[in-house]
A and B are shown apart, each in its own frame.
Chain A
Amino acid sequence: MPRETPELYPRFGARADKCEFPMALELINVSKRVGADQHIYPTDLTLEPGCLNILLGTTLSGKTTLMQMMAGLDPLTTGSLRFNGQDVTKTPVQKRNVSMVYQQFINYPNFTVFENIASPLRVARVPETDIKRRVGEMAELMKLSAMLDRRPSELSGGQQQRTAMARALVKDAELVLLDEPLANLDFKLREELRDELPRLFADRNCVVVYATTEPVEALLFAGNTATLHEGCVTQFGPTSDVYRWPQDLITAQVFSEPPMNQAEVIKSGGSLSLAGGASWTATGTAATLGDGRYTMGLRPHHVTPKEGGGQPVKVSGEVLVTELSGSESVIHFKLGGRAWVSQSHGIHPVEVGGHEELYADVAEAFYFDQTGQRITG
């Protein structure tokens, strides 16, 4: 399938054409090395305003380091940063009009909420009447109007984080960096803020970067996603493209929760077979594969207890764990020495330790060669 279908996934708010210079943050051959450790491998990225730019990766994959380099908090080992076409590699952070929100709730502890939100404006010497107006508007937007006189320690976690976000947004920064801002919140609040976030940035002319460990968040916010793995940006593009057509096994793994199922398959003639035994007729991309060994990747929701999908193939294995998550059943089972996960709607009673038959919809499978590259056919 061709990857070049941007018209299908329009990036909302095409403001670039209004500006004389298209606004963008460009990372050119940027890398970070500390001693013998390569924290970030040379990376090229162009981040644009109008939609969220998501950095998706596990803890320690380099999201925070990359963001700090974008902000100018952490010097680059190689490469350069350009903002709106201007080189800002050496510009100190306070001159860059950047704002950042952290995983911890960072506010001035002995300032009231009002003073906290006003603090960047005070540094910028904005007139008092403007400060009142802008803080008032921001508090309205963040639902903090009733708490302006309180101190951060008297607020709930969600309110503290909203205060921190209000502080980041009030100064009309050109680059807003959000480093897992929802990670320390409890579930309900996280859901709430998740819904609010895209709305907050919808009519702002700034480049927004959002780091997260959760594939669900990336899918929810749409925009563009860069997947990070051990300091490497493995793929960058519109979120749904990256999700649907991962370039390699690592990207597919980073962008899958629960983890993507993998199996060794052998192509021979017109059919494919699992090391475990099942075999099926190769169709679509699979039909174009040459004879040999490949790694097949299949997302958990394409493995179901009931027959369905484009090309169901019966597989069976010992059930290791079963979980119910809302109206979904998650079944962990063993297939050809690997742990597989099935995720399906409805409640399917299966016995742990028993032998269970499930259906893998191989029409949705990805095939990767021995180096982990996806074969696009």
Chain B
Amino acid sequence: MNKTENQKAWFFVLPVLLLVAFNALVPLMTVVNYSVQETFGDNTFFWAGVLWFEEVMNSERFHAALGRQLFFTFTILAIEIPLGVAIALTMPRKGIWVSVCLVLMALPLLIPWNVVGAMWNIFALPDIGLLGRTLNAIGFDYNYTRQPGDAWFTLILMDVWHWTSLVVLLSYAGLVSIPDAYYQAAKIDGAKPFAIFRYIQLPKMKRVLTIAILLRFMDSFNIYTEPSVLTGGGPGNSTTLLSIDLVKIALGQFDLGPAAAMSLIYFLIILLMSWVFYTLMMRNEAK
């Protein structure tokens, strides 16, 4: 084959390269820079090697935050994915109710994240909030600002309320793309509803569900705004997730070195886990 060599093609890549450099590579390199240096103010820096990485990896505080983060992420995944699929299955496929359902489902996704946090903060207040007041009125000793268990309950409920819609919409898109003929064929075979779900709908939804799980995993692992507005990591440190802890170290204590090292570790954990998820879920596809 004869291909014409044309170096001008690089010019087409240049704008994207510049854009990515400025919004991703340069900030990332700054973080890398901080993570291997020590400063005593005065804008003077000293080489610190892997000191900060060792410190973070050995810190009890980091382990605890990571543990809380993993608990949070897996809990919401375990609730949101099955719930989202279940809701999508009950939604109508045809008729005027389709758009009504879709709009209702999309509503929580349209609300700015800090507003969601603020909404739930007030909604769950034990003295004036609708949820908090009601729970107390029916006999529960509920106070999310004082009791860690209640704080977790509120946090998870808020995330489920906010993000299950995304799983619903993705699953629904997967469901409506299944041709009617599949259902007819199943009917001719005399398949029961569960068999239809297990052998037709679920395999056909596999790709969108993979995307849904990945998106929800990454988003929930990165989550900052809502829990920081709702509980601010409290009471005590009980709901201090990784991102909240990171902000406390970086901006509260202004420990730039450890914060930078922690950022990189945090980033690598997400990258690694996303890759593992994706490989596991796509394993059969490639076979």
Contact = CB atoms under 8 A, between A and B. Distances in A.
B5 interface: no
A135 to B, nearest CB: 15
B252 interface: no
B181 interface: yes
B95 interface: no
B33 interface: no
Contact of A123 (B184, B189, B203): B189
Interface in A95-138: 98-100, 102-104, 106, 108-111, 119-120, 123
Interface string A72-116: 010000000000000000000110001110111010111100000
Contacts of A94: 187-190
Task: Identify which of A68, A102, A111 gathers the most chain B CB atoms within 10 Å of its CB.
Answer: A102
A106 B203 CA distance: 13
Interface in B160-203: 179, 181-182, 184-185, 187-191, 199-200, 203
Q: Give the residue among B184, B188, B189 with the most A Cβ atoms within 10 A.
A: B188
Interface centre among A71, A93, A110 (most CB of B within 10 A): A110
Contacts of B182: 106
A359 B202 CA distance: 62
Contacts of A119: 189
B188 A108 contact: no
Contacts of A71: 184, 188
B204 interface: yes
Interface string B194-219: 00000110011000000000000000
Interface residues of B, number: 15
Contacts of B204: 109
B189 A110 contact: no
B181 A93 contact: no
Contact of A99 (B179, B188, B199, B284): B188
Nearest to B184: A73
Contacts of A123: 189-191
Contacts of B185: 100, 102, 106
A303 B105 CA distance: 62
B200 A104 contact: no
Interface in B91-142: none
A104 B182 CA distance: 9
A102 B186 CA distance: 12
Contacts of A103: 181
Nearest to B185: A106
A76 B237 CA distance: 66
A73 B179 contact: no
A68 B204 CA distance: 24
A106 B187 contact: no
A366 to B, nearest CB: 38
A123 B191 CA distance: 8
A92 B143 CA distance: 56
Contact of B187 (A73, A108, A111): A73
A92 B284 CA distance: 36
A93 B284 CA distance: 34
A120 B188 CA distance: 9
Given A109-B204, A111-B199, A100 B188 contact: yes
A113 to B, nearest CB: 15
A103 B203 CA distance: 20
Interface string B76-95: 00000000000000000000
A99 B190 CA distance: 11
Given A94-B188, A106-B181, 20 more contacts: A71-B184, A73-B184, A73-B187, A93-B187, A94-B187, A94-B189, A99-B188, A102-B181, A102-B185, A103-B181, A104-B179, A106-B179, A106-B185, A108-B200, A108-B203, A109-B203, A110-B199, A110-B284, A119-B189, A123-B191
Nearest first, the 3 closest Cβ-Cβ pairs linking A and B are A94-B190, A102-B181, A109-B203
Interface of A: 68, 71, 73, 93-94, 98-100, 102-104, 106, 108-111, 119-120, 123
23 contacts: A68-B184, A71-B184, A71-B188, A73-B184, A73-B188, A94-B188, A94-B190, A98-B188, A99-B188, A100-B185, A102-B181, A102-B185, A104-B181, A106-B179, A106-B181, A106-B182, A109-B200, A109-B204, A110-B203, A110-B284, A123-B189, A123-B190, A123-B191
